[in-house]
């Protein structure tokens, strides 16, 4: 059972306005897309994709950023059971380094959409930048600014992506406890910066990022578990 909504989140729920317009125009499979991890120092970039049903409502779905971790976790199973189709796709930290963030977003998005295993009629994408790539024609993509707060399928995708990535980073905390991945999820914070300065980067860090130059480490990295690429996700 999902946790009750805090008062601050009871208003301004995302709606099916965008989906209904597309459904009425004959688009059967309308997918909402959102990303998480773009600003992190460590870990993957993760894309969530969600296709919601026309005839079943799920309450309490909000922009993942408006919910706390307990609320997101309590909603996750309900959302994945409710969605007609859902998926996630990742770009590794190595791929973010190798290809740059713009291409990494497209790579992770294509992986998420391919994992749906259906023909997608239209995509609703959170934000101003179209990071879907060529898997869906440009005429079949709509950018929605603050879509995770306005559009129900994007909000669902945002929670799926956030919970999935958070679980990945919490699991990696066991191997790298000094970095506090269980709390910061690979994002910058004083404890993360201090651990990076003292110990050097883990195999999860995006070593080409500017913060690596701004946070020089003064000693060789400590011996640590080095997970294989397959085990990162």
> Residue 126: is its pLDDT beyond 90?
yes
> Residue 16: is its pLDDT beyond 90?
yes
- In the chain, at which residue ranges do the beta strands (DSSP E only) sit? 30-36, 45-51, 85-91, 122-126, 141-144
Instruction: Return the pLDDT at 143.
Output: 95
Q: Which domains does the chain have, with CATH numbers?
A: 7-171 (3.30.420.10), 176-218 (no CATH)
> Residue 10: is its pLDDT beyond 90?
no
Residue 163's Cβ-side half-sphere holds a number of Cα atoms within 13 Å equal to 24
Instruction: Return the pLDDT at 208.
Output: 85
Look up the pTM and report it: 0.87
- Can you tell me the distance from the alpha carbon of 57 to that of 16, in angstroms, rounded to the nearest whole number? 10
Query: Token digits for 57?
Result: 């409502």
Nearest to residue 169, comparing CAs of 20, 79, 45? 45
Least confident of 6-10, 135-139, 151-155, 170-174: 6-10
Neighbouring C-beta atoms of residue 149, cutoff 10 Å:
19
pLDDT, tens digit (0-9, with 9 covering 90-100), for 28-71: 999 999 999 999 999 999 999 999 999 998 999 999 999 999 99
Torsional class of 60: left (φ above 0), alpha (ψ -120 to 50), beta (otherwise): left
What average pLDDT does this structure show over 196-212? 86
Instruction: Return the pLDDT at 218.
Output: 53
Give the pLDDT band (50/70/90) at residue 2: low
Which neighbouring-strand residues pair with 51? 85
- Can you tell me the distance from the alpha carbon of 18 to that of 49, in angstroms, rounded to the nearest whole number? 16
Arithmetic mean of pLDDT over the chain: 88
- Can you tell me the distance from the alpha carbon of 98 to that of 206, in angstroms, rounded to the nearest whole number? 9
Instruction: Return the pLDDT at 125.
Output: 96
Instruction: Return the pLDDT at 26.
Output: 97
Query: Token digits for 82?
Result: 């409710």
- Can you tell me the distance from the alpha carbon of 86 to that of 160, in angstroms, rounded to the nearest whole number? 8
pLDDT, tens digit (0-9, with 9 covering 90-100), for 69-81: 999 999 999 999 9
> Residue 9: is its pLDDT beyond 60?
no
Give the pLDDT band (50/70/90) at residue 135: confident
Percentage of the chain lying above the pLDDT 70 cut? 85
Rounded alpha-carbon distances, angstroms, from residue 222 to 59, 94, 150, 198: 47, 20, 46, 9
What average pLDDT does this structure show over 6-30? 86
Give the pLDDT band (50/70/90) at residue 136: confident
């Amino acid at each position: 059972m999902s946790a009750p909504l805090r008062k601050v989140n009871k208003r301004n729920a995302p709606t099916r306005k965008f989906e209904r317009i597309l459904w009425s125009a004959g688009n059967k499979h309308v997918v909402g897309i959102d990303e998480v991890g773009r600003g992190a120092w460590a870990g993957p970039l993760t894309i969530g994709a969600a296709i919601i049903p026309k005839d079943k409502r799920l309450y309490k779905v909000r922009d993942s950023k408006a919910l706390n971790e307990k609320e997101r976790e309590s909603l996750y199973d309900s959302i994945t059971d409710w969605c007609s189709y859902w998926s996630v796709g990742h770009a590794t930290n190595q791929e973010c380094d190798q290809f740059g963030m713009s291409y990494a977003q497209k790579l992770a998005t294509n992986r998420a959409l391919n994992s749906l295993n259906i023909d997608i009629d239209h995509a609703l994408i959170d934000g101003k930048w179209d990071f879907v790539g060529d898997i869906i024609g440009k005429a079949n993509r709509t950018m929605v600014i603050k879509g995770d707060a306005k559009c129900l399928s994007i909000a669902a995708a945002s929670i799926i992506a956030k919970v999935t990535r958070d679980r990945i980073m919490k699991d990696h905390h066991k191997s790298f406890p000094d970095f506090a991945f269980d709390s910061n999820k690979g994002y910058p914070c004083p404890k993360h910066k201090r651990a990076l300065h003292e110990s050097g980067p883990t195999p999860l860090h995006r070593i080409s990022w500017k913060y690596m130059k701004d946070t020089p480490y003064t000693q060789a990295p400590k011996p640590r578990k080095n997970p294989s690429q397959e085990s990162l996700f």
